[in-house]
Structure 1
């Protein structure tokens, strides 16, 4: 089966929806071509309303972008809302799932890693370090974040404020470009929490993993590679 070339305008909806979905993921046409194995020229013609795609090609495209076919044909899904297109993406994170980075002083489990170009990165954190000497340099990265303590007690150290102690159910919202660190302040061997990091940068997940990987410990049998 091959692509079907049609007059300009006949496939404008498909092209507009593809462009909106691509831009929402922070991808160039070349990156879409690399992820899907489709020709760059074909994708360019589709975006410009000059070409349609057969069903097998649509499956190839949506599979490579980890999206639903409906996103390419539903104007309501692809229409901009307050200047940003709706992607209708979703990802379910089951208990025990996630990309794990473990060091001697903390374990970060990144959730919903099947989605690319996320502007929010959810992390389940287990904090063991009890001092800044153990933890190392304060963390700094783009965006903002919210940390919610789910068990134990957490000491939050920041660059411009005195340390704060958070108990179970307490949370803190902070500017992530400010140096910060989360330490175990309870009697248990570790404290746990959920951290949500946000940024306009499409590579936020990669940035966070690079920072967290600075002190990676040897992998155990139950850990995933970073």
Structure 2
């Protein structure tokens, strides 16, 4: 049995927390149903305190919404970031500074490498590969990213969309778990700034390992 009836207080709390979590993500009940594969009527009953869920359904719900299960029993859990103490961390990247990984087809210069545990990894990139054959396998890693072209033209290839051409000043935001590649689509050098973000604590190491696979020294 997927759903269970529980004491009114527990059902009411779960419903309130589900509603708070849904609204915090700007989702409708229909969108929650689509993301989780759960019936819209079931979700409506839960939000209204008329029904609770078994553990497997709670996991299905939280997995679909990419949230911690604790948030369904304490709405403050989803807002912990707002209450985090100010760390006052900062790092300045001067022109020409950064950790460089260079190959025949691209050069990545990682910025602000003195900070550890960053949620965002900023990279200055020069793209030289002009074909997928040169570039190699599409890149995939945790999180999401934004790539802003600063000079030249860049062709963005992804596994689910037709290629797009970006000129200087154009940018693209994409799901980094989707296969993707940036290629030089012009006659001049193509450069850009890429911002990668993820909840994974080892994102920086993941990105360096991926970039290093084609470096001459296999760094």
TM-score by length of 2: 0.62
The 3 A distance-change label for structure 1 pair 38 and 87 is farther
Deviation at 1:86, TM superposition (A): 2.7
For 1:30 and 1:161, how far apart are their aligned partners in 2? 26
For 1:21 and 1:114, how far apart are their aligned partners in 2? 35
Residue pair 2:21, 2:75 contacting (<8 A) in 1 also: no
For 1:77 and 1:134, how far apart are their aligned partners in 2? 46
For 2:19 and 2:9, how far apart are their aligned partners in 1? 15
The 3 A distance-change label for structure 1 pair 14 and 206 is farther
Q: After alignment, is 81-90 or 24-33 more displaced?
A: 24-33
For 1:113 and 1:78, how far apart are their aligned partners in 2? 29
Structure 2 unpaired stretches of 5+ = none
Deviation at 1:32, TM superposition (A): 40
Residue pair 1:14, 1:46 contacting (<8 A) in 2 also: yes
For 1:17 and 1:107, how far apart are their aligned partners in 2? 46
Deviation at 1:16, TM superposition (A): 30
Deviation at 1:202, TM superposition (A): 1.5
The 3 A distance-change label for structure 1 pair 23 and 168 is same
The 3 A distance-change label for structure 1 pair 84 and 54 is farther
Secondary structure of the equivalent of 2:145?
strand
Residue pair 2:127, 2:184 contacting (<8 A) in 1 also: yes
Deviation track 1:152-202 (CA, whole Å, cap 9, x = no partner) reads 00000001000000000000000000000000001114x000000000112
Deviation track 1:100-134 (CA, whole Å, cap 9, x = no partner) reads 00011000000000000001000000000000000
For 1:131 and 1:148, how far apart are their aligned partners in 2? 20
Residue pair 2:20, 2:75 contacting (<8 A) in 1 also: no
The 3 A distance-change label for structure 1 pair 130 and 56 is closer
For 1:74 and 1:82, how far apart are their aligned partners in 2? 15
TM-score by length of 1: 0.60
Deviation at 1:203, TM superposition (A): 1.1
The 3 A distance-change label for structure 1 pair 44 and 119 is farther
The 3 A distance-change label for structure 1 pair 15 and 103 is farther
2:217 corresponds, among 187, 210, 219, to: 219
The 3 A distance-change label for structure 1 pair 67 and 21 is same
